Structure 1
Amino acid sequence: MHNRDFHPESLMMTHGYKPELSEGAIKCPIFQTSTFVFKNAEEGKAFFEVAYGKREKDPHEELGLIYSRLNNPDLQILEERLSLWDKADECCVFESGMSAISTVMLEFLRPGDVILYSKPVYGGTDHFVNKVLPEYGINGLGFTSEQSKDEVLEMIKSKDLRSKVKVIYIETPANPTNALFDIEMCKEIADELSTPDQEVVIVVDNTYMGPLWQQPLKHGADLVVYSATKYIGGHSDLIAGAVLGKSAHMQRVRRLRTFLGNMAGPWTGWLLMRSLETLKIRMTQQAENAKHVADFLLNHPKVEKVYYLGHLTEGDPSYKTYKNQLSCAGAMVSFDVKGGEKEAFKFLNSLKLMKLAVSLGSTESLAEHPATMTHSDVSDEDRDLLHISDKLVRLSIGVEHYSDIIWDIEQALEQI
C-alpha cells in the first residue's frame, strides 16, 4: 500500500513516540527526571556542542537528552505533535502563556526599539507592553482593527518611528471583543518597515482560536504564541504556554528559554499530550455550542450587542478577513447587557451552571467581567476606545449540552 499523510488529529496519539524505548508502553511515560545519563564522555560532548550552538547537527545524527531544562521526552514529543497543527518548523513549550509571550518580546526587542501591537490584547500582555517594557527603554505603539494599512504606516511615520519598529504583535481575534486583525496586511506593513539589515518580526497570539481554527503562519506570521492553558490544555488543570514558527526564529526563542529557565516540566508536558488527543473533538463541540448561545443572545431584549464572529455579514469590514483567515467562528462570545456594571454583576452572580472565573477554552463554560477582571489594568482611554465597557460580559463556551447553557444564561438575564 502507498504511504498516507495522516491528519493531525490521527497523529496526536502516536507521532514522535517509540514504544520500544519505553518498555513497550502504549503511552509516553512521565519522565520525572532532572538529568540524563550519557553512554560515554564523547557523546556528552557531542550533545552539548549542538545544544549550545557550537555546531549544526549532522543530518543522520541522533541527538540524545542532557538535562530537563534543555529537553525532556515529554516536552519533545509534545512539541513535535503541537507543530503539526500549525505546520510549524519547531515548537517550544513554556511554563505559562505569559512566559512564552515575554520571552519572545525580550528576544526580539532591545532598548530604543518599538513594538507595534494590536489593541485590545489580553490584560497581561497589555501590562507587559505598557508597564514593564518601558522600564527597559522599549515602547509600545497600539493600533486598532479599524485602521487601514496606510493609516498605520502614517501613524508610525508621524511619530518618526519607521526605523524603530522591530516587532509587530497581533492578537486576533482580540480578547475580549473578537475584533479581527488582518495578518496579511500586517505582513505588508512589516515588509515596508524591514531593511536588509533588520527584519521586522510578526508575532500572532492565536489563543482565542487555538491551533484548530486559524493557522497564522500560513498568512505571513513568523511566530505564533499560545496560552496553552486554554484550548490546548482545555481542562482547567494546568498552566502552560507555547511558541511555534520558523526554525531561524525558534532557535533564538529556544536559546533564551534555556537561560531564562521557563520551560514547562514533564508532568505538564504529559498532561498536554493527553489533551491534544481530544483537541479537535472538544473544540468542535465548543464551537457548535457557541453558535447556539450567540444566536440566542442576539434576540434577547436585555442584550444590547453581541460580539460573535459567526454573526459577521458581507457588509462588515472584517468579513473578508474572517473568511480568508479563519475556518470557524470559535467558541468565545461576548455581549453588552442593557445597563452597566450593576446589571452585568447581577447576571454573573445569578449563573447556576456556568462558573464565574477568568480563563477560557476549557471543557466547562466560564463567564467573567473584562473591565474589572482580565482587562482592569488597561487604561481608561483604551477601554473606552475598544468597547471594553462596564456592560461587557465575556463567555467561554464549554462542552455541556447547549440547551443547558442557554437555560442558565436565560434565567440569569431574567434576574437583571
Structure 2
Amino acid sequence: MLERYFQPESLMMTHGYKPELSEGAIKCPIFQTSTFVFKNAEEGKAFFQVAYGKREKEPNEELGLIYSRLNNPDLQILEERLCLWDKADECAVFESGMSAISTVMLEFLRPGDMMLYSMPVYGGTDHFINKVLPQYNIQGVGFTSDQTTEEILDHIQSLGLSDKVKMVYVETPANPTNALFDLSVCRIVADRLSYGEKEVVVCVDNTYMGPLWQNPLQLGVDLVVYSATKYIGGHSDLIAGAVLGKTKYMKRVRTLRTFLGNMAGPWTGWLLMRSLETLKVRMTQQAKNALEVADFLKNHPKVEKVYYLGHLQEGDPQYIIFKKQHTCAGAMLSFDIKGGEKEAFLFLNNLKLIKLAVSLGSTESLAEHPATMTHLDVSEEDRKRLGISERLVRLSIGVEHYSDIIWDISQALDKV
C-alpha cells in the first residue's frame, strides 16, 4: 500500500484524535474535567512515574491522563497538531504568550546570568526583561539588526559578560518595525559563548510570522515561542501562548509549566484546534491583502515611510535575511505618517472599518499607535533609537476585501 505524507493543513482536522474514544464524534469534544480515573493503582503509579521523570516511557507504552494541570486531551491533541507546522519534537501550550515567554526565561536563566535579546521586542517582553528579571539579578543586554556577529560578541566581551550569557532571545520580524534578525548570526553567537557544560540556548518569538511563513526550528534555533492569541487563534476570542522545540529543552519547559500551573485550559485548547483548521487560508488571504495595502501606502503623499517586508530590495542586508528565512512577507506592516502624534491620532480616530485596538493576526484589521500603546513602557531612549516614533502607526491586516481596507485608510488619511 502506498504511503502518503499529508501536508499540515490537511491534518489539522484529524491528527492525534481517535473518534472511537469519544463516541464517534467527528470533532474532539471539550474535556471539561480536572482529573481522570485510573483503571487500577498500578496504572496510576506508572503514569506518575513518567510524569515526574522517575523513569522513561517504555517503547509502545500508551500513557494515560492524570490531571488537567499535567495533561488534557484537548491540549495534547492541539500540541501534536502545532508540532506539524514547525516540525518540532514537542509543544507546550500556555494560558498567554507572556506566560510562555516568561516560563522559558525563568527555566533557562538563573540569578547572575545574562540574556542577549534583540531590539525592539514586544512591549510586554521588554518590560519582563528590563523590569522583572533584574529583580532576580538577571541582566538583559540588547542588540540590533544591523550589528554583526563580531560586533555583538565584542560588545559582550567589553562588558565582561561573556561567561554569564545563557540565552539569546530573538523576536524576528520585530514588533512593530518589521526589523529582521539573521538567525544564523544568533546561532553562531550562542555557540561561540557556549563551552563545556555551559550551553547558550537560542529562543525565537515567531508571533509575527505565525507557524506558516517562518520556521525557526528548521533554521537552527532551540526553542520557538508564540503568542497563540494572534495568528494561531486568529479570531480575537482567546488568550494563549505556545512553546515548541527539541525534547531535551521541552522536557524542562513542560516541568516548570506543571509547577507554575500556567497551562491553557481545555476550552482554550478546543478553540485553538478549531482555529488551526483555517490557519492557512486565513493567513494566505491576510498576506495578499497586506501587499495591496502596503503598495497603496507606499505611494500616498501623507505617508513618509512604510515598514513592510515585501518592499525590501535586492542589495539590502534585510532582503538577504528575508529570502533566507521567510516564505512570505506576512500581513503586518507599519508606516510613518507625515507629522507626529497629532496626525497619527487623527488618522486612527477617523478609521471606520479598521478597529483601533492592540493585538494582531486576527480576521479583522487592527490599527494602533505603538509609542503610546503597546510599546509605551519601552524607554524613551530605546524608542528613539529603534524608530518607534510618535508618527509610527502599526497595522495588522485582516481578511476583509482589500479594496475596503484601502478605502478606509484613504478616507482616514484625508482627515489628517
When normalised by structure 2's length, the TM-score is 1.00
Q: Shift of the alpha carbon at 1:218?
A: 0.8
* Residues in 2 aligned to 1:319 and 1:395: alpha-carbon distance in whole angstroms: 21
DSSP 3-state at the match of 1:305:
strand
Q: Which residue of 1 aligns with 2:116?
A: 116
Matched, 1:385 2:385: yes
Q: Kindly report which structure 2 residues correspond to 1:291-302, keeping only aligned pairs within 5 A, or say none.
A: 291-302=291-302
Q: Quick one: which amino acid aligns to residue 258 of structure 1?
A: T
Report the Cα distance in structure 2 between the residues aligned to 1:181 and 1:144, rounded to whole angstroms. 8
- Could you give the per-residue CA deviations for residues 210-269 of structure 1, whole angstroms, max 9, x where no partner exists? 000000001111000000000000000000000000000000000000000000000000
Paired position in structure 1 for 2:354: 354
Counterpart CA distance in 2 for 1:18 and 1:343 is 55
- 1:53 equivalent in structure 2: 53
Q: Partners in 1 of 2:337 and 2:53 — Cα distance? A: 55
The residue identity in structure 2 corresponding to 1:34 is S
Provide the residue aligned with 2:364 in structure 1.
Answer: 364
Amino acid at match of 1:248: K
2-structure distance, mates of 1:158, 1:266: 49
Measure, in 1, the Cα distance between the counterparts of 2:285 and 2:205. Answer: 22
Residue 19 (str. 1) matches residue 19 (str. 2)? yes
Match of 2:210 in 1: 210
Alignment of 1:7-406 (within 5 A): 7-406=7-406
- Amino acid corresponding to residue 160 of structure 1 in structure 2: G
1:410 counterpart residue number: 410
The superposition leaves residues 184-217 of structure 1 with CA deviations (integer Å, 9 ceiling, x where unpaired) of 1100111100012111000000000000000000
Q: Secondary structure at the match of 2:372?
A: coil
Q: Per-residue deviation at 1:176?
A: 0.1
- The runs of 4+ residues in structure 1 deviating greater than 6 Å are none
Residue type of the alignment partner of 1:72: N
Counterpart CA distance in 2 for 1:298 and 1:405 is: 15
Give, in whole Å, the separation in 1 of the partners of 2:317 and 2:414: 34
How far, CA to CA, are the matches of 1:358 and 1:372 in structure 2?
Answer: 11
Task: Please list the CA deviations of residues 59-115 of structure 1 after superposition, one character each: whole Å capped at 9, or x if unmatched.
Answer: 111000000000000000000000000000000000000000000000000000001
Cα distance in 2, alignment partners of residues 184 and 29 from structure 1:
42
For the residues of structure 2 that align with 1:18 and 1:198, how far apart are their CA atoms?
42
Q: Secondary structure at the match of 2:370?
A: coil
Q: Report Cα offsets for 1:22-64 as digits up to 9, x if no partner.
A: 0000000000000000000000000000000000000111000
TM-score by length of 1: 1.00
CA distance in 2: counterparts of 1:125 and 1:258, whole angstroms: 22
SS at match of 1:207: coil
Partners of 1:299 and 1:127 in 2: how far apart? Answer: 36
Question: Deviations along 1:260-313, whole A, 9 cap, x unmatched?
Answer: 000000000000000000000000000000000000000000000000000001
CA drift at 1:174: 0.1
Deviations 1:163-184 (A, max 9, x none): 1000000000000000000011
- How far apart, in 2, do the equivalents of 1:97 and 1:127 lie? 14
Letter in 1 for 2:3: N
Task: Report how many residues are paired.
Answer: 416
Please give the alpha-carbon distance, in whole angstroms, between the structure 2 residues aligned to 1:170 and 1:366.
24
User: What amino acid maps onto 1:271 in structure 2?
Assistant: L
SS of 1:383's equivalent in the other structure is helix
CA RMSD of aligned residues (A): 0.4
- Larger mean CA deviation between 390-399 and 193-202 belongs to 193-202
TM-superposed CA distance for 1:317, in Å, is: 1.6
Letter in 2 for 1:115: M
Secondary structure at 1:145 match in 2: coil
Cα distance in 1 for partners of 2:359, 2:48 equals 39
Unaligned regions of 5+ residues in structure 1, if any? none
Q: Secondary structure at the match of 1:115?
A: strand
SS of the aligned residue for 2:91 comes to strand
SS class of match (1:318): helix
What amino acid does structure 1 have at the position aligned with 2:397? I
**Aligned-partner SS, 1:408:** helix
**Aligned counterparts of 1:55 and 1:196: Cα–Cα separation in 2:** 27
The letter of the residue matching 2:32 is: Q
Runs of at least 5 residues in structure 2 that lack an aligned partner in the other structure? none
CA offset at residue 315 of structure 1? 2.1
AA in 2 matched with 1:409: I
For residues 155 and 343 of structure 1, the distance between their equivalents in structure 2, rounded to whole angstroms, comes to 38
The 3-state SS of whatever aligns with 2:371 is coil
Q: State the distance in 1 between where 2:248 and 2:188 align.
A: 20
Residue identity in the other structure for 2:75: L
Within 2, Cα distance between the matches of 1:364 and 1:244?
A: 27
- Structure-2 separation of matches of 1:399 and 1:130: 36
